[in-house]
Amino acid sequence: MIVVTGAAGFIASCLVTRLNAANFNDIVVVDNFAVERKLINLKGKRLREYVDRNEFFDWLDKNHEEVEFIFHLGARTDTTEQDKAIFDLLNVEYSQKMWRACCQYQLPLVYASSAATYGSGTLGYSDEDALLPLLRPLNPYGDSKNDFDNWAINQPEKPFFWAGLKFFNVYGPNEYHKGRMASVIFHAFEQIRQHGSMTLFRSHNPDYADGEQQRDFVYVKDVVEVCFFLMQHRQNSGIYNLGTGEARTFLDLTLNTFKALDRTADIRFRDTPEDIRDTYQYFTQADMSKLRAIGYDRPFTRLEDGIDDYVRNYLVPGHYL
């Protein structure tokens, strides 16, 4: 059996599809299944069992001998949430409990970290361990992910194989439920469809023109390929960036969304909301050399191609992966 936490969410549900495609069908999905708007992400997938996240460790105590691998992708991911206690509970303490269980039962573990750990990016985007204690995230979500990364690398006892993945700006199918936290591509599609235009955040940094803010946008299909690779690889434990290695502007993103919709571009700007203005990242770009060095050699999807596939084959028809 393969365990996937956060399974009804965006990235994890796409991972379940990738596992099914490789004929892994004994998948135990773990989540808070009371959030009904996410459940459609699992519709039609071949699954072994649904386990509530609060009951998972009792379940694991009884079933660990049948478990082959754990993908711990469940987390509170709202970057605007300021209640540190929520992140401590779900992103730190729950993950620590997962880590200890994997040590106890000798289970390999891949878990979700985040590029939010890099904060303003003044220290760069290297995923080498030496940088971890120096990072200063810009919000409680980033703090929680960085806190766990630092805790993990300092543990005397570790799973025989483990990997933390610092997801950069992931976009793609199955994010319909994410609301404000959905990708900019999703929001662009919705705005263009409803209004014929797209409004981007104005730059409040003199080093960047409006729309020239840059992020490393990575297609979810590439993200799950890396997860699948690590499940088969099971060596070279550590924390890895997961982006494309190429920063692109929000204008690039928006213009390609208009193109995929066969619409004439109409881009407008508004001030960045004050509740996120001070914690806004103007540039992110993953250093991907560490993952490449352990043998991951698949090319990452170009932004143009990823947007075209996402818009035409998923967003327009309302399909799921």
Give strand pairing partners of 279. none
Range list of β-strands (E), the chain: 2-5, 27-31, 49-52, 69-72, 109-114, 162-167, 169-171, 198-201, 214-215, 217-219, 238-242, 248-249, 267-270
32 in a known ligand binding site: yes
319 in a known ligand binding site: no
Residue where the block lists tokens 């994997």: 102
**CA separation for the pair 126, 160 (Å, rounded):** 24
Q: What is the pLDDT of residues 280-299, one digit of tens each?
A: 888 999 999 999 999 999 99
Return the CATH architecture of domain 2-172+217-245+285-300: 3-Layer(aba) Sandwich (3.40)
* Cα distances (Å, whole numbers) of residue 56 to 40, 198, 278: 21, 42, 37
Whether residue 220 contacts residue 11, with contact meaning beta carbons closer than 8 Å, is answered with yes
Whether residue 8 contacts residue 31, with contact meaning beta carbons closer than 8 Å, is answered with yes
Q: What is the pTM of this model?
A: 0.95
77 in a known ligand binding site: yes
Q: Which of 46-55, 72-81, 207-216 has the lowest mean pLDDT?
A: 72-81
The tokens for 80 are 């605007």
10 in a known ligand binding site: yes
**CA separation for the pair 117, 167 (Å, rounded):** 10
Residue of 158, 178, 259, 290 marked catalytic: 178
Is 141 annotated in the active site?
yes
pLDDT of 110 > 60? The answer is yes
pLDDT score recorded for residue 139: 87
pLDDT score recorded for residue 43: 96
Task: Tell me how far apart the terminal alpha carbons of the chain are, to the nearest angstrom.
Answer: 21
292 in a known ligand binding site: no
Higher pLDDT, 86 or 66: 66
Shortest CA distance to 138 belongs to which of 317, 283, 289, 285? Answer: 283
Which three-class secondary structure state does DSSP give residue 272?
coil
**CA separation for the pair 292, 272 (Å, rounded):** 35
Percent over 70 (pLDDT), the chain:
97
pLDDT of 78 > 90? The answer is no
> Hey, where are the domains in the chain?
2-172+217-245+285-300
**CA separation for the pair 112, 184 (Å, rounded):** 21
Q: Which of 46-60, 78-92, 94-108, 194-208 has the lowest mean pLDDT?
A: 78-92
Residue of 118, 141, 171, 314 marked catalytic: 141
Whether residue 218 contacts residue 168, with contact meaning beta carbons closer than 8 Å, is answered with yes
124 in a known ligand binding site: no
The pLDDT confidence band at residue 278, using thresholds 50, 70 and 90, is confident
Is 208 annotated in the active site?
no
